[in-house]
Structure 1
Amino acid sequence: MIIFNQDVINNFFYIILSIFLIFFLIERKMIHGWYTRLATLVSLSMAIILCMLSPIYQNPYCVHDLRMIPFVLGIMYGGPYTGLALLVVLLLSRTMIYSWSIVAFVIYAVIYLLTIIGMKWFDFDRLTSRKKIIFSVILFTVHSLVAALIANAMTVFVMDESYLINFILLPSVGMLILTYICETLLKQIQIKQALVKIEKMEVLAQLAASISHEVKNPLTVIKGFLRLLNQENLPVGKKEQYLAIASSELNRAEDIINDYLTFAKPDPDQVENISISGQLNKLVDMVEPLSNQQSVDVHKSIMDATIVGNTRSFQQAFLNIMKNAIESMPKGGTLTILSKVQKGNVSITITDTGIGMTSEQQARLGEPYFSTKEKGTGLGLMVSYRIIEAMRGVITVDSRVGQGTSFQIVFPVDRLKDPSSL
C-alpha cells in the first residue's frame, strides 16, 4: 500500500518553498560565494526542521519523513561546508524533537560522506543538467538502501515491500523532480546573467561606434582645412576663415566628448539647493535668441520650489529639452513652460506645438545616436535623461504627430526648504 497523506504533501511543499526561497535571494542579490551558501543553509535548515515536524509515518522503531532530500540537495548545491552545517542542524533538530540516537548519527554521517565521495568521483560540478538529475536519483536511492541496512544492523528494523515502495522508490522520484527544479532555476539565473553581459556589451559597442562616428566628423573637417592651410600664396583672410572653422570643429568635438562624459558620470560633484523659478527663468532668457529666430512664442507659468542637485547639470538637461522643442517648430509655434508643486513633488512641463513624434520614436528617446532631427546626434537628450535620473527625477513624454510634444519632469522637493509642500 502506498502511503500518500497530507504530511507527504506538506513535506514536498516545505522543500519546494525552500528551493524557491534560495533562488529568489540569489537572483535578487546576484552575489555568489558566502551569501549563496548562507541562503542555502538557512532555507534548507528550515525545510529539514519542518519536515521532521510533519512525519509521514511513525512506528515503534522509526519515524519517516523527507528530511534527507533537503540535506542531500544542500550538500550537492551548497558544497561540503554547507552540507556539514546542515548535518549539525539535522542532528540537533532530531535530538530536540525526538531524542539522541546513535543510529541516526551513523546514518546521516555515512550519507554525508557518501555524497561528498560521489560528487568528487563523478566531478558533479562539471556534469550536464541531465546527468546531475540521474546522479541525484541514483545517489539518493543508494542512501536510502544504505540507511535501511545500517538501521537493520544496529537496531530492530523491518525492511519489507511497503518500505521499499514508500520510503525508497517514491522519495527517489521526489528527488528527481526537485533536482530538475533546481537545475531549471539555475539555468534561468545563468541565462539572466548572460543576457545582462550581452546587453552591457551591446551598449558599450553602440557607444563606441557613436563616439567614433561623431568625433570623426569634426576631425575630418579639421584635417581637410589644415591641408588647405599648407597652400602657397593663401590669402590672410582665407587663413583666418579656415582657422576659425577648424577651431569651431574642435569645439564641437570637445562638446561631444563632454556630453559622453556627462552621460557616463552624471552624479554631480557639488550638490546644492536649486531654485526652480530662478533657473527656469534664466533658461528662458538663454533660449530667447533661438526662439526669436524660429518665430516661437514662449509662454511660462512658473511656481517656485527648491530641489537638491547640481545647478550646471540642471541647466544642461533643460536647455537641451528646450532647444529641441524650439527646433521642432521650424515654421514657428508656441513653447509653454509650466511648473507646479503638489504632494511633495515639483512637476515641470515643457510643451511645444511642433512636428511631434510617433510612438516608436518616443520609445527610443534618450538612446545614444537616435535623433528626430536630420543632423542630430541624440547625445543632448541622452545626457538630459541621464542627468534627470541622477537627480531622482522621473521624465515622461506625450507626443502626437503634427500636434506637438510635451515633456513632464517630476522631482522630489527639498522639504527642509519648502515645508509647505508637505
Structure 2
Amino acid sequence: MEAMMTGMINNIFFIIFPIIIYQMLATAGQRNFFVSHRVTMTVLFSISIILCMLFPYQFLTDQYIFDLRQVPMIVGALYGGPLVSAVLFLVSSGGRFLIGGDGMYIAIFNQFVIAAGVPFLRPLYMRLKRFGKIVLVFCISIASLLFNMLAGAYFFGDPIHDIIGIWVMLIINQGTIIVLTALMIEHMQRQEYLYNSLLKHEKMETVSHFAAAVSHELRNPLQSIKGFIQLMKEYDYSREKQVEFHSLILKEINAAEDLIDDYLVYAKPTYGQLEPITVSTEVHHVLKIMAPYANGKDVKMQIGDMDETAEILVDRQKFQQALVNIIRNGVESMPDGGTLAIAAKSSPAKVWIEVTDEGVGMTKEEVQRLGEPYFSNKIKGTGLGMMVTYSIVSQMNGQIMVDSQKGKGTEFTLEFPNIATFEKK
C-alpha cells in the first residue's frame, strides 16, 4: 500500500510540474494554454509521459501495474490540438514499445485512439463552461480505461466480474487526477485572462485621464482666445488695444503649446545629447531660477551637504526641468512659508539629489499615486508636472524615491548612476 501511494504521488507530481513551470515562465495574459509556448509545453508533457511510464505503481493487486500517462496525453490533445496530440502519441507509443510486455499492442492502440479522436473534441471542449469541461474530460478518461478493460478481458480471458472492481477504482483514480489537472489549467487561464483584462482596463483608464486632463487644461486658453477674437470682431478697438489683445492671444497660445509639449514629453520623451554634468553646478543654477518664486511664497531655500564632485550623464535641459518641478511642488506645499533644503551625495555607483520641504506632506496612499495622470494634491492641479518628472528621470536611467509624512513634510530623492559607472564600461 505504501509503495502504491508513493508511486501515485510521483505520477501526480510528473503531471503537474509542467503546468507549474508554465505558470512561472509564461507571459502574463495568455488566454490559451498552448498558444505562445506550444513547443515548450509539448516537450514538458512528453517528459511527464515518459516519467509516468518509467515509474508505474501496482494497483490493489500484484497483477496490475498502472501509470497516469493518459492524463497528459488527453489534456495535451484538448488544449494543444492535433499536432501536439500526434507528438505526444509518438512519445508514449515509443516508450511503451520499448517497455514491451503483455498488453503492449493494446496500450499503443488505445493511445492511438486518444491521439486521433480527442483533438476532434477540442472545439467543443473550448466552448464549454468549467463544469462541462470537467464532465467531458472525465468521460474521455472513463472511455479510455473501459477500452483497456474490455480489450484485456477479450485478449487475456479475464472474467469481467473478477476485474470490474479494480477497474472502477482505476477509473476513479485517473478520473480524479485528470479533473484536478483540468481545473488547475482552467484556474490558471482564468487568472491570466483577468490579469490581462486588468491591464487593458488600466490602459483605458490612463487614456481617459489623459483626455480629461487635456480637455480641462486646453479649454482655458482656448476660451480666452475665443473671447478676444469675438470682442475684436464685434467692436472697433483702437490699434493700441488690438495690439494688447494680440499679445494676450499669443500668450494663451504659448501656454497651450507648453501644455502640449509637456504631454509629449510624458507620452514619448525625446532628449537631446546626453552629456556629463556636475550636479552641484546644475543645482545652483536651478535655485537661482526658482529664488524669486520661492521668495514670493515666503520660502527659504537652503543648500545642505553638496558633493561638488558628483557627476551624472543626462540631458541638461530635461534634468533642470525635472528638478524645477520638484522644487516648485515643495514650495507650493508650504503655503505659510518654510524652508526647502537640497543636498547631493554620491557613491562610486550612484548619485543622490535630495529635496526636502516642511510642507503639508502626504499619506502613503498619496505617495504611491504620485506620477499618475490627473492625480494632484493641488485644488486645480492635474498631476501633469509630476508625470513629466517621473518620465524624465526614468528615461535617463534614474528613479525617484519619496518619503513623506502628513503634516511633517516630504523628501524627494533622485537617484542616478554615477558617471564613473559609464566610464568603466
Q: TM (normalized to structure 1)?
A: 0.89
Map of 1:399 onto structure 2? 404
Separation in structure 1 between the aligned mates of residue 242 and residue 404 of structure 2, nearest angstrom: 47
CA-CA distance at 1:257 after TM superposition:
0.9
| SS of aligned partner of 1:339 | strand
Map of 1:18 onto structure 2? 18
Q: How does 1:341-352 map to 2 (within 5 A)?
A: 341-342=346-347, 344-352=349-357
* Contact kept in structure 2, 1:306 and 1:418, CA below 8 Å: no
| SS of aligned partner of 1:287 | helix
CA-CA distance at 1:157 after TM superposition:
6.4
Q: What do residues 352-408 of structure 1 show as CA deviations (whole Å, max 9, x unaligned)?
A: 223333444333322222222333332111110122222232222222344322111
Percent of residue pairs bearing the same amino acid type: 34
CA-CA distance at 1:351 after TM superposition:
0.9
CA-CA distance at 1:255 after TM superposition:
1.1
Map of 1:177 onto structure 2? 180
- Alignment partner of 1:302 out of 306, 325, 331: 306
Separation in structure 2 between the aligned mates of residue 31 and residue 382 of structure 1, nearest angstrom: 32
**Aligned pair in 2 of structure 1 residues 111, 401: CA closer, same or farther (>3 Å)?**
closer
CA-CA distance at 1:344 after TM superposition:
1.5
Q: How does 1:155-304 map to 2 (within 5 A)?
A: 160-266=163-269, 268=271, 270-300=273-303, 301-303=305-307, 304=309
Moved more, 291-300 or 316-325: 291-300
Map of 1:136 onto structure 2? 137
Separation in structure 2 between the aligned mates of residue 361 and residue 29 of structure 1, nearest angstrom: 29
CA-CA distance at 1:3 after TM superposition:
9.1
**Aligned pair in 2 of structure 1 residues 268, 42: CA closer, same or farther (>3 Å)?**
farther
Aligned CA-pair RMSD: 2.9
Moved more, 66-75 or 372-381: 372-381
Separation in structure 1 between the aligned mates of residue 204 and residue 407 of structure 2, nearest angstrom: 37
Separation in structure 2 between the aligned mates of residue 4 and residue 49 of structure 1, nearest angstrom: 19
CA-CA distance at 1:80 after TM superposition:
1.4
What is the one-letter code of the residue matched to 1:116? P
* Contact kept in structure 1, 2:82 and 2:116, CA below 8 Å: no
* Contact kept in structure 2, 1:267 and 1:390, CA below 8 Å: no
Q: What do residues 185-244 of structure 1 show as CA deviations (whole Å, max 9, x unaligned)?
A: 211111111111111111111111111111111101111111122243313332222222
Map of 2:51 onto structure 1? 50
* Contact kept in structure 1, 2:399 and 2:415, CA below 8 Å: yes
- Alignment partner of 2:325 out of 309, 312, 320: 320
Q: What do residues 296-350 of structure 1 show as CA deviations (whole Å, max 9, x unaligned)?
A: 3222232233333322222221111112222333443222111111361111100
CA-CA distance at 1:158 after TM superposition:
7.0
- Alignment partner of 1:337 out of 323, 330, 342: 342
| SS of aligned partner of 1:398 | strand
Moved more, 9-18 or 195-204: 9-18
Map of 1:71 onto structure 2? 73
| SS of aligned partner of 2:412 | strand
| SS of aligned partner of 2:339 | strand
**Aligned pair in 2 of structure 1 residues 382, 29: CA closer, same or farther (>3 Å)?**
same
* Contact kept in structure 2, 1:2 and 1:162, CA below 8 Å: no
* Contact kept in structure 1, 2:398 and 2:415, CA below 8 Å: yes
Separation in structure 2 between the aligned mates of residue 243 and residue 99 of structure 1, nearest angstrom: 98
What is the one-letter code of the residue matched to 2:379? E
* Contact kept in structure 1, 2:145 and 2:171, CA below 8 Å: yes
| SS of aligned partner of 1:35 | coil
| 1:408 pairs with 2:420 | no
* Contact kept in structure 1, 2:4 and 2:58, CA below 8 Å: no
Separation in structure 2 between the aligned mates of residue 344 and residue 12 of structure 1, nearest angstrom: 49
* Contact kept in structure 2, 1:107 and 1:150, CA below 8 Å: no
Q: How does 1:41-120 map to 2 (within 5 A)?
A: 41-57=42-58, 63-96=65-98, 101-119=104-122
* Contact kept in structure 1, 2:266 and 2:392, CA below 8 Å: yes
**Aligned pair in 2 of structure 1 residues 259, 165: CA closer, same or farther (>3 Å)?**
same
**Aligned pair in 2 of structure 1 residues 255, 115: CA closer, same or farther (>3 Å)?**
same
Q: What do residues 109-160 of structure 1 show as CA deviations (whole Å, max 9, x unaligned)?
A: 112122123335xx22211121111100011100111233344455676761
| SS of aligned partner of 2:37 | helix
* Contact kept in structure 2, 1:267 and 1:387, CA below 8 Å: no
**Aligned pair in 2 of structure 1 residues 282, 225: CA closer, same or farther (>3 Å)?**
same
**Aligned pair in 2 of structure 1 residues 161, 151: CA closer, same or farther (>3 Å)?**
closer
CA-CA distance at 1:26 after TM superposition:
2.6
